[in-house]
Structure 1
Amino acid sequence: MAFSTNLPSIRSLVLATALFAGATAFSACGGSETPTETTTSTGSVYESEAAKKTLAKAGTEEASAGIFTADQVKLSPIVDKAMAAKGKALSELKCQSCHSMGSNRVVGPGWENITETRAPEWILNMIVHTDKMLETDPEAQKALEQCMVRMPNQGLSETEGREVLEYMRTLVAKK
């Protein structure tokens, strides 16, 4: 009696599994759940002195590299709901495999209250200029050391990064 196997189906299953595992590993994001910033009664202190120096430097010689400064990232007091909706869709596609929308860490930090603990320009730079931030920013490097998984550059444009930032603004826990 001859035993018959469906070899093409087994190969397809193995290939599909390998592709899924590879895509999951490739999309891994990094970050730090424990922010190093503090909050005062007068407002948030977003970054350490080292990070401030990096961002100040970004305004000069690194400006040509596209690093955003605080002057370039001005947020309206009111969340733009249309931008936030686009940012939510982008985050579901590119970010949710590593970041929760709550406070818990997955691979990278949860996004709840992230806009209360990180400066908008820092967040936008991490979204759009991931590689440059991981190379030059002390806070991004500290996050990488804590997480041990490098956040991949998702190839988002400035507009797309701004939309994700706007969505992040909606993820503030009610006090």
Structure 2
Amino acid sequence: MTLLFACGQSNGGSDDSTTTAAAPNTTAPSADVDPEAKSDSKGIGKFTDVKLAALDPAMAAKGEAVFTAKCSACHKVTDQKVVGPGLLGVTKRRTPEWIMNQITNPVEMEAKDPVGKALLAKHLTQMTFQDVSDEQTRQLLEYFRQIDSK
């Protein structure tokens, strides 16, 4: 699903995850992508290898605060669409790398990534960059993992 496309203030915190940065990949777009279907794509951006451990409730709590500040104007963590799509189940449909790349690189993702392009075509609104740090992005991912684990 398209992620984080709301307004808000920056919110810091700590991060115990491991990520590997690399040059953006150049995935060719596909006209036949179902934006609701599961995808194993890592997307386009610096996140190419996100290592996940057991769910970290403290990190998820920080992610919830970031979500409230920056994302909740356009997204819900239910399946309800607001401006952008509802995010319930996003961690079951998308890889951690794709989610983090969508949050930190939404314009390029929606211009070049097949799933991002399909989501833009469906929701008709470009997700805006919210100046979310890599650390906050990882916290958001943990919050989405927590929501999807219920």
Asked if Structure 1 and Structure 2 have the same fold, meaning a TM-score greater than 0.5 normalized by the shorter chain, the answer is: yes
Q: Percent identity between the aligned chains?
A: 38
Bigger relative contact order, structure 1 or 2, given CA contacts below 8 A and separation 6+? Answer: 2
Q: Give the match's secondary structure for 1:170.
A: helix
Structure with greater helix share of residues: 1
Which residue of structure 1 lines up, in the alignment, with residue 52 of structure 2? 75
Matching of residue 98 in structure 1 with residue 77 in structure 2:
no
The alpha-carbon distance between structure 1 residues 147 and 167, as it changes in their structure 2 partners (threshold 3 A), is same
Quote the offset at 1:106 in angstroms. Answer: 1.2
**Which residue, 143, 146, 149 being the options, matches 1:170?**
146
- Partner amino acid, structure 2, of 1:95: C
Q: Give the match's secondary structure for 1:75.
A: coil
- Partner amino acid, structure 2, of 1:131: V
Which residue of structure 2 lines up, in the alignment, with residue 141 of structure 1? 117
CA contact (8 A) 2:110 2:120 kept: yes
- Partner amino acid, structure 2, of 1:67: K
Please list every run of 5 or more consecutive structure 2 residues that lacks an aligned counterpart in the other structure: 1-5, 8-33
The alpha-carbon distance between structure 1 residues 115 and 154, as it changes in their structure 2 partners (threshold 3 A), is same
Query: Once the two structures are superposed, what CA deviation does each residue of 1:44-92 show, in whole Å capped at 9, x if it has no partner?
Result: xx34xxx46xx4xx5xxxxxxx5211xx21111x211111111100000
Structure having the higher Rg: 1
Matches within 5 A, 1:6-155: 27=7, 35-37=36-38, 46-47=39-40, 51=41, 55=43, 66-69=45-48, 72-76=49-53, 78-155=54-131
Query: Once the two structures are superposed, what CA deviation does each residue of 1:126-163 show, in whole Å capped at 9, x if it has no partner?
Result: 01111221222111011001100110000111111000
- Scaled by the length of structure 1, the TM-score of the pair is 0.62
